[in-house]
Structures are given as structure tokens and as C-alpha cells.
A = this chain, B = another copy of it.
């Protein structure tokens, strides 16, 4: 099994190293054989080659069995013409990573970090499924001096395949899909709702509800335990999946997976590259480590390995081993070592 790693920028290399340490430890427990191939990506690749997604990196990614990405970006690229994010968008498109999956859960040991009252986050356990290769992200963008235009396109097929993913996930969980659109205004959302209804016919065991994006942006915070699987288009998914990180009160423990119809999946923390603390050895590696767990489960069907990691993270947090962002004093290496000890 070939795993391609894209450590990227800022704290990326440190947390990637931590993720790989945990992977090595769990692999020996479950007899999982793999090779790792590191490639430049994002800002690091711009510095090295002038391009955020060098040809070689893309070729390697295409040939991988799974991809681990840590984080990209940094203030030095903010006003540049070539930017790290372009590499990420190009990678998603080139690999056809149309389904972005973000589980939202609250760790018992971290409940106090949530800005929400305990009774609100009680029982929160949902998944945000975001369409990742269509919509206004990939329509034509025209920037003139006095005007600008973006085009938002969706085809029936693009919507159908992501809605199917949501229903499949819901079937294995709480059997409820909340499909989010702005159907009272957008044509793409009108189509979205039609397709959602069509797909639902094949899943009589799963309940489908529709929500308008403005209303859902409220309910996700006021009634978060009402949701099981939330599915939406690219731009709404960008906003809502970031908003969902409000519930655990930290970006530091949330992994994500992005899947294609064929070919490798990509796993990454939902947080950014945190350039302000890069190299200090105090970054929180948990999102990265949980992304490794998602990879084991979803790409390699190594459920036991995934479970070992998730249990170890939970135990470590309950023992009070916390990095600075979680209110503790543990360093990145102390946190990683504690998780490996608890495997």
C-alpha cells in the first residue's frame, strides 16, 4: 500500500511526522504493510518549483492508494499571484475528489471548550458531506476593473453522486439526510432539491429533509443534535463545515476525508497551517492523527487500526494530556508519545 504524504506549510511537516509515527505504531500492531512517499505541495512547492501542485506530485498522488495532506498556506502568499490554495483546488479536480466528509463529534474530555452550553451539544454526532469539485468554485471566474462574475454550474449527475454518498453514509448511521440548498432563489438549488428527491426513492429506509442554507446556519448551532448526515453543495459546504467546528469549540480535533469515484482518497485535518506557531513544537497533531485513522478505515478497511487510534486519542485526552490550543501544556511530541502509549 502506497501512501503519498503532502506535508505542505506551517505546522504541516510537524503534524505529518506525528501522524506517521502513530501510523507506524498501529501498523505493527495490526500487521499493516505500507510505504510512504513524501512530495512537495502548496507553499512549499511554490518555493521549490514555482507551482503549488508540481507535475511530479500530481503523478505520485494519482498512483497512490491513499493521500495524507497536512496543511497549506501562509501570510507570505496572501497577495501572490500563485497561491497554495490553487494547488489544493487543482488536486481536488485532478483526482475527482468530489465527496468531502467531515464527522462532527464532541470528545467528552473537551466538552468545556465548546462556546455552547453543555445541554446544547449533548449527543451531537453528525457528518457534513460537501460536494467538492463542482459549483461556483469551478465555474468560470472573470475579474475586470469595474466588474466581476462567477458562474455556478451543477449537472444532475454531479448532484446525484454526492447525494448518494450522503444516503449511503446515513444508511450506516442514524438514517436521516438533511439536504441543504437555497431553493427559493437559485436554479442550481432547485435542481439540487429535485435530485435529492429522486435519489431518496432508492432509500426508503432513510429519511430525507430539506433545509434552506440560511435557516440551517442557525439550526446547526441551536439544535445540533437533530442532525445525522448534512449534505450540500461546494460553497455552502465550505461555510457550514467550518461553522460546524464551533460545536466542539476547537478545530484541533477534526479530521476529514475526500473521496473520488475511482482512485485514491485524500485525508486531512480541517484546520489550517497555523504559521504563527510553526516550528515551535506545540501544534496539536490530533486532527492529523484522526485523519490517519479515517484513512485506515475508509481506504484500507483496517477498522481495528482506526479504532485503536480513536480510542487512544480519547484516552489521552481523558488523561488530561492537552496541547496549548486545548488549554494544556503538552508539546506536540508529548501528545504524540502519549497517544502511541495508549494504542
Contacts and interface: CB of A to CB of B under 8 A. Distances in A.
Given A116-B115, A213-B239, A239-B239, A149 B187 contact: yes
Identical copies in the complex: 2
A235 B182 contact: yes
Interface residues of A, number: 53
A85 B186 CA distance: 12
Interface string A99-123: 0000000000000000111001000
Interface in A113-166: 115-117, 120, 136-137, 139, 141-143, 145-157
B217 A149 contact: no
A158 to B, nearest CB: 9
Contacts of A341: none
A183 to B, nearest CB: 9
Contacts of A246: 218, 221-222
A2 B157 CA distance: 53
Interface in A11-68: none
A34 to B, nearest CB: 33
Nearest to A224: B115
Given A187-B150, A188-B150, A242 B221 contact: no
A174 to B, nearest CB: 21
A214 interface: yes
Contacts of A240: 217
Contacts of A245: 218
Interface string A244-278: 01100101000000000000000000000000000
A89 interface: yes
Contacts of A146: 155-157
A106 to B, nearest CB: 14
Nearest to A84: B184
A168 interface: no
Contacts of A120: 115
Contact of A214 (B137, B149, B239): B239
The 5 A-B pairs at the shortest CB distance, nearest first, are namely A141-B187, A214-B242, A148-B191, A217-B243, A143-B187
Interface of A: 83, 85, 89, 115-117, 120, 136-137, 139, 141-143, 145-157, 182, 184-188, 190-191, 213-215, 217-218, 221-222, 235-236, 238-243, 245-246, 249, 251
6 contacts: A143-B187, A148-B186, A149-B153, A215-B242, A218-B245, A221-B243
